[in-house]
Structure 1
Amino acid sequence: METVSIVLFLLLAVVVSGAFARMLPFSIPTPLVQIVLGAAIGLSTSHGVELDPELFLFLFLPPLLFLDGWRIPKDELLKDASTVVELALGLVLMTVVGMGFFIHWMIPAMPLAVAFALAAVVSPTDPIAVSAIAARVPIPKRMMHILEGESLLNDASGLVCLRFAVAAALTGTFSAGEAALSFAWVALGGLATGVIVTIAATRAKAWVTKRWGEDTGSQILVSLLIPFGSYLLAEHMHASGILAAVSAGVTMTFAEISRQALAVTRMRRNSVWDMVQFTLNGIIFVLLGEQLPSILAGAKQTVALTGHAAPWWLGVYVLAIVAGLAALRFIWVWASLKFTILRKAKKGDGFQSPDWRLVAATSFAGVRGAITLAGVLTLPLVLNDGTPFPARDLAIFLAAGVIVVSLVLASVALPMLLKGLTMPAEPAKQAEEDNARIATAEAAIQAIERHQHALATDKVDADIYAEAGGQVMNLYRERVEGLSGKQSDESRAGDRLLREFRLVGVRAERAAVLKLVRTRRIGSETAKKLTRELDLSETRYHG
């Protein structure tokens, strides 16, 4: 019962923190508010949350990584694939090696393997935290796509590196050759497992749906189970469950294209996954704050491991690690952009040198968040011989400090760097969208005409079918004329006004439905149906 109460209390804290973040007159990232609220909870109660590292990793990471892989724009990811790979793989490896040696040099009491483990957990970035920070100063779309793609891959690469570092700390040995072979199996096995599980699950789901119909609740539940199934199967095969969850999410996009679910299923499933993402990310940051008092309480004992007596040395180490991460990221981003310019120049493509603020903004956007915390909390409690894992509390303290400091720095620096920043021009997507809408409208007109003829041959009242079909086809013909350039400026302005008047009408209908409910002139079921129709209409007209 106590566990259930703690879970419910954490969920309430996530809701309250989101409300506080919106109420504040100045912009503070929601993750920071959640950390502060979690710290207040930790200070005000004697019942601390004891986290099981393996359970924590299993509950939080698979669904979050699966959703990242599912929702990331694939075309944009492929367009900037080279940049994303350079950041997600090259930068992570350089960070693990460079920061690992740097941390070990700075804190000799921390074993080299543990230093590499700490470097591995602070290498992944968190785009959700960046989005929250830049809520009032929107990040350019292409930059955000790069950050999302980087985060998707560096989550996996950083946590795979963490796995090898922990194994080295547990066994006390490390072989580069064995690590390379093991990495190949861990990576390829994890990726293949995610793909196979997703394809098998979606095909089985489509087979059942085709024969016995679609149940929305079951469809949503299957999508929730896929990341956990992929993770467990991969881990059972000693492959990477993290990469399995990522590849399962990416595969889900393509599997859904060929096996479409009902519209109501997609809408409800999106809502469920939005809730899952909001809840899990919120709980992770609240838990970070809740753990901070106990981490700080042990600061004196923790700093003793470093050979110092004053706890403020821990702050110095945190700032040094943040500075090292920022410097490595700035150098890597600058070098990556320079190589991109050289490649473009050799091909004869015009490519302007980027504004220094773009490099700086991309560097500061490397905020650490949920994945870093989830990763560091999975450090084992004991070694294979039963002795305590060396410098575990110190690693957790430094990782938590890096998360908080990077959030604060980015919340201050990003808005200033992004304000007025212009990104290189991107090809407009409007023509592509218009062509797609024209093609779908023409296909609809042809289908309606065929259906008209089929009904007319079987029925006597052919005029009724012709009139009904003509009314619907006129709507599609208006779309084709409007998007193919045949519409005048006055007509386009009229369409905008028509959309505006439709929204006014929808809002009036909504108010009328509310009044009917309050006066008990309609029942809740009717009100629910009408409200859903109005929601769909309002979404359509807003688009």
Structure 2
Amino acid sequence: MEAVSIVLFLLLAVVLSGSISRMLPVPVPTPLVQIMLGAVIGMSTSYRVALDPELFLLLFLPPLLFLDGWRIPKDELLKDISTVVELALGLVLITVIGMGLFIHWMIPAIPLAVAFALAAVVSPTDPIAVSAIAARVPIPKRMMHILEGESLLNDASGLVCLRFAIAAALTGSFSPSSAAINFVWVAGAGIVVGVGLTLAVTRAKAWVSRRFGEESGSQILVSLLIPFGSYLLAEHLHASGILAAVAAGVTMTYAEISRQALPNTRMRRNSVWDTIQFALNGIIFVLLGEQLPAILAGARTTVKMTGHDSTGWLAAYVLAIVAGLAALRFVWVWVSLRLTLLRRRYRDGVTVHSPDWRLVAAMSLAGVRGAITLAGVLTIPLVLDDGTAFPARDLAIFLAAGVIIVSLVLASVGLPILLNGLTMPPEPSLLAEEDAARVAAAEAAIRAVERSQHELAERMGDGDFYAAAGGRVMDIYRDRIDSRSGSAKASAAARVQDRIERDFKLVALQAERSTIVDLARDRRIGSATIRKLVRELDLVEARYRS
């Protein structure tokens, strides 16, 4: 019962956090609200969450990394793949080495292997926290795509580095050559497992659906099991379960394109995954807050490990780590952008002006640490192989938690200032691509209706009846083709007209819904009819509001 009560308290805190963050007059990131609610739970209840590192890793990381890989825009990622790789791999490696040495030099009580482990967990960034921070100051799309791609790859690279650092701490030895060979196996086998398992499962699922029909519940459950299956199989083979989960998510995108599920299944599955993502991310931050009272209560004991008496030194260490991370990121982003401009100059002969310094500063400040950092540090083992306590584990958790909170606060204050009025380099418009796709789809729809119209007329007779019905449908698609095939000015006017029609349709839908509610209150329609009509209205409204 105690475990069930804890879970319910955590979920309740996650639910309340979204409402509270919207109610506050000053924009406060939802993760900070969740941390505060978790702290309230930790101070006001007798319940305590005893975290099992391996169980925590299994429950939280595979679904989150899988979903990141599944939903990240692949085409936009490929456009800036060189920049993303430089940030996600090069910066992570420099951060692990540079910050690991810096932390060990600053706090000699932390062994070098543990310092590298701490540096590894603070290297991944969290775009969800960034988007929550900048909700009132929209982040440029290209910048957000780079941050999402960086987060996807540096989650995996940072956690793989954490694995090697923990192994070095447990064994007391580290061989660069053995680590390099092991890394090739860990990374390669993990990716192969994720890709192979996802393709096998999706193909089997498609075969069963074609032969025996599709059941939405089982399809959704299969998508939930894929990340856990990929992770566990890869770990069983001593490969990276983290990379397997990421690879499975990326593969899921392409597998779904060729083997589409039913529309009803896709809508339900998206809703389920949205809920899981919100719940898991929220629970992680609430858990951080719940652990804070115990961490702070032991702060005096923890600080004595560093050779000091004042707990203020812990705050100084956190600020020093945050400053070091920001400085490394700023330099790396600036160098990366300069190299990109030089490559374009020599390859294309195009002279591109240097970006505004505020853009570099915004990219640096957007390196917020979040759920993956906390999940990683909480997976540090409790004991060594000989049964003794893992050295400086509490101190590492405190410093990681401090880095998360401080980076969230700094970004919530600084990002809106830096992004406000910032002129971004022009991005190619996707309107022409969208118009061409709509026209091609409409032409295919007209051809399909014409074929069906002729077949029904020949089989059933009464060709005028089917011609009239098909003509009404085809007129809708012809209007779409006419509005999207004209000049740019005509297309712009068509989009304005579409927006006006959408507003009218939303007004009409609201009137329909109000009437149905009145009929239900007067008991003039039954509950089954109510559910059917409301669902239809919800689907149409979701289409117009998307």
Give TM class, smaller chain: over 0.9
Distance 1:357 1:219 in 2: 46
Letter in 2 for 1:423: M
SS of the aligned residue for 1:118 comes to helix
Following superposition, the deviation at residue 490 of structure 1 comes to 6.9
Amino acid of the residue matched to residue 366 of structure 1? G
User: 1:488 and 1:258 mapped to 2: Cα distance?
Assistant: 31
Instruction: Tell me the residue number matched to 1:139.
Output: 139
- Deviations along 1:9-37, one digit per CA (max 9) or x if unpaired, are 11011111111111111100000000011
Q: Which runs of 5+ in 2 are unaligned?
A: none
User: Which residue identity lines up with residue 411 of structure 2 in the other structure?
Assistant: A
The 1:327/1:530 distance shift into structure 2, 3 A limit, reads: same
CA 1:138/1:494 → structure 2, altered by over 3 Å: closer, same or farther? closer
The structural deviation recorded for 1:45 is 1.4
* Equivalent residues in 2 for 1:334-349, closer than 5 Å: 334-347=334-347, 348-349=349-350
Q: Is the 8 A contact 2:234 2:241 kept in 1?
A: yes
Contact 2:194/2:248, CA 8 A, preserved across alignment: yes
Q: Please point out which of 503, 508, 523 is paired with 2:506.
A: 503
- Following superposition, the deviation at residue 456 of structure 1 comes to 1.4
Q: Give the aligned residue type for 1:499.
A: R
- The amino acid that maps onto 1:409 is L
* TM norm structure 2: 0.98
Partner of 2:288: 288
Checking the alignment, whether the CA contact within 8 Å between 2:65 and 2:246 is kept in structure 1 is yes
- What amino acid is aligned across from residue 189 of structure 2 in structure 1? G
Match of 1:26, SS state, is coil
Following superposition, the deviation at residue 127 of structure 1 comes to 0.6
| Amino acid in structure 2 at the alignment position of 1:432 | E
Structure 2 matches for 1:7-406, cutoff 5 A? 7-347=7-347, 348-406=349-407
CA offsets per residue over residues 326-375 of structure 1, 9 Å max, x none?
00000000000000110011121242210000000000000001001100
Partner amino acid, structure 1, of 2:94: M
Inter-partner Cα distance in structure 2 for 1:494 and 1:244: 47
1:489-529 deviation digits (Å, cap 9, x = unpaired): 77665544333322211110011111112222112221111
Tell me how far apart the structure 2 counterparts of residues 54 and 265 of structure 1 sit (CA, whole Å).
32
**What is aligned with 1:412?**
413
Count of matched residue positions in the alignment of Structure 1 and Structure 2:
543
Identity, % of aligned positions:
75
Are 1:520 and 2:529 counterparts?
A: no
CA distance in 1: counterparts of 2:218 and 2:256, whole angstroms = 15
**Aligned: 1:541 with 2:533:** no
CA distance in 1, matches of 2:201, 2:290: 38
Supply the distance in 2 between the matched residues of 1:18 and 1:530 (Cα, whole angstroms): 29
The question of 1:424 aligning with 2:456 is answered no
Over 3 Å counting, the alpha-carbon distance change for 1:378 and 1:269 in structure 2 is same
Question: What displacement does 1:46 show?
Answer: 2.0
Question: Which segment is superposed worse, 500-509 or 170-179?
Answer: 500-509
Note if contact 2:96-2:123 (Cα within 8 Å) is conserved in structure 1: yes
Q: What residue in structure 1 maps to residue 483 of structure 2?
A: 482
Q: Using a 3 Å threshold, how does the CA distance of structure 1 residues 386 and 496 change in structure 2: closer, same or farther? A: closer
Q: Secondary structure of the equivalent of 1:191?
A: helix
**Counterpart in 2 of 1:470?**
471
CA–CA separation in structure 2 for the residues paired with 1:147 and 1:171: 35
**Aligned residue identity for 1:139:** I
Residues 385, 491 of structure 1: alpha-carbon distance in 2 compared, 3 angstrom cutoff: closer
- Distance in 2, matches of 1:490 and 1:126, equals 39
Counterpart CA distance in 2 for 1:13 and 1:64 is: 19
1:212 CA drift (Å): 0.6
Task: Tell me: CA distance 1:8–1:353, structure 2 relative to 1, closer, same or farther (3 Å).
Answer: same
Q: Structure 1 unaligned segments of length 5 or more: list them.
A: none
Q: Which residue of 2 aligns with 1:443?
A: 444
Q: Deviations over 1:264-321 (max 9, x none)?
A: 1111100000000000000000000000000000011101111111111111100000
Larger deviation: 294-303 or 510-519?
Answer: 510-519
TM-score, normalised via structure 1 length: 0.98
Q: Distance in 1 between matches of 2:390 and 2:46?
A: 26
Partner secondary structure for residue 238 of structure 2: coil
Query: Alignment partner of 2:178: what SS?
Result: helix
Letter of the 1:525 counterpart:
A
| Alpha carbons 2:484, 2:491 under 8 Å: kept | no
Separation in structure 2 between the aligned mates of residue 490 and residue 33 of structure 1, nearest angstrom:
43
Listed one character per residue, the Cα deviations across residues 366-411 of structure 1 (whole Å, up to 9, x for unaligned) are: 0001001100011111111111100011100100000001001111
Q: Is the 8 A contact 2:484 2:494 kept in 1?
A: no
Say what the alpha-carbon RMSD is for the aligned residues.
1.2
Question: For 1:401-452, what per-residue CA distance to the aligned partner results, in whole angstroms no more than 9, with x for missing partners?
Answer: 0000100111110010010112110110000000000000000100111111
Q: Which amino acid counterpart does residue 360 of structure 1 have in structure 2?
A: A
